[in-house]
C-alpha cells in the first residue's frame, strides 16, 4: 500500500517555464514532507521540506505547497532550468518515527 | 567532510556468492540507513540503525544483515546472493532533531548485479 504517491512518472517543460510536481499521501499522521532531487548515478540530495503546520515553504526558485485537507503537496520550480532535469522524490515522516516513506519519483526534463 | 561514502561503486556477483557493501560517514550522525532502489521504483528501506550497537529491520530485510559497531560505519552483508537482489543500494545518515524534519544524507550508491 503506497502511502506516498507520485502519480506522474515523468514531466517535460520548457526552460524558463514553471515545473509543477505533485505528491499525494494517505497517512494523516505525516508531519513532515521532504523533496529530494536525484541525478543519474548519484544519491538523492535534499531539496526542500515543509511541516504539516504550514501551507507553503519557499527557497529561491523552489516552493512547496501543502494542502492538508486534500492530502496533497506540490513542488513548484520557477523558472525551470536545464540543470533541474532530474528525478524528484517526495518523502514523508510521522512523529518520532524517523523513517522516511518515499514516493516512486517523477522524472523532470527541462528542455532548452 | 567526505559525507557518506560507499564502496564498491559497481559489483557483479554470481548466484550464491556473498559480499559486504561498505558505508561510512564522517558527520557524526547517529542514524544510518540502507535502501535499495529497483528500476522505476522508489527507495525501499532495508535496515536502519539509531546508534552504535542498535539496528532494526526496514521494509525489505530478507537476505541481508547489518552491524553497527561504530558511529561511522554501517556495512550491509548479502549472504547467498539471488537475482532478486540486483539493484542499486544507497546508504544514508542523519542526525534528527526533535521537532524538525529528518534530512537524510545519501552516498553515491552501489550498483549490484547478481547473475
Give the residue from chain B lying closest to A3, CA to CA.
B42
Report the pLDDT value the prediction gives residue B96, as an integer from 0 to 100: 84
Task: Tell how far CA B89 is from the center of its chain.
Answer: 6
Residue range B17-21: average pLDDT?
Answer: 97
Q: Is the pLDDT of residue B76 over 90?
A: yes
- CB within 8 Å of A1: residues ≥ 6 apart: A26
- CB within 8 Å of B108: residues ≥ 6 apart: A41, A42, A43, B5, B6, B9
Report the pLDDT value the prediction gives residue A70, as an integer from 0 to 100: 97
- Which of B92, B81, B77 shows the shortest CA–CA distance to B45? B92
- CB contacts of B103 in chain A (<8 Å) are 34, 46, 49
Question: B50, A98: Cβ pair inside 8 Å?
Answer: yes
Residue B1 pLDDT grade (very low, low, confident, very high; cuts 50, 70, 90): confident
* Cβ neighbours around B81 below 10 Å, total: 21
- pLDDT tens per residue across span A19-36: 999 999 999 999 999 999
Amino acid at each position: 500500500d503506497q502511502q506516498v504517491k507520485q502519480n506522474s512518472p515523468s514531466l517535460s517543460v520548457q526552460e524558463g517555464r514553471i515545473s509543477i510536481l505533485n505528491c499525494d499521501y494517505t497517512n494523516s499522521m505525516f508531519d513532515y514532507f521532504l523533496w529530494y532531487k536525484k541525478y543519474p548515478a548519484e544519491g538523492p540530495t535534499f531539496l526542500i521540506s515543509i511541516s504539516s503546520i504550514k501551507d507553503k515553504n519557499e527557497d529561491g526558485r523552489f516552493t512547496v505547497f501543502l494542502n492538508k485537507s486534500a492530502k496533497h503537496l506540490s513542488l513548484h520550480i520557477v523558472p525551470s532550468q536545464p540543470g533541474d532535469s532530474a528525478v524528484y522524490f517526495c518523502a514523508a515522516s510521522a512523529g518520532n518515527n524517523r523513517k522516511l516513506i518515499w514516493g516512486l519519483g517523477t522524472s523532470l526534463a527541462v528542455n532548452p | 567532510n567526505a559525507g557518506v561514502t560507499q564502496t564498491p561503486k559497481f559489483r557483479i556477483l554470481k548466484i550464491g556468492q556473498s559480499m559486504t557493501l561498505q558505508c561510512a560517514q564522517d558527520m557524526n550522525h547517529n542514524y544510518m540507513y540502507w535502501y535499495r532502489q529497483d528500476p522505476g521504483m522508489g527507495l525501499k528501506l532495508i535496515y536502519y540503525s539509531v546508534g552504535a550497537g542498535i539496528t532494526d529491520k526496514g521494509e525489505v530485510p530478507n537476505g541481508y544483515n547489518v552491524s553497527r559497531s561504530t558511529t561511522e560505519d554501517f556495512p550491509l552483508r548479502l549472504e547467498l546472493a539471488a537475482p532478486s537482489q540486483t539493484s542499486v543500494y544507497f546508504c544514508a545518515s542523519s542526525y534528527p532533531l526533535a521537532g524538525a524534519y529528518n534530512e537524510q544524507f545519501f552516498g553515491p550508491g552501489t550498483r549490484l548485479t547478481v547473475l
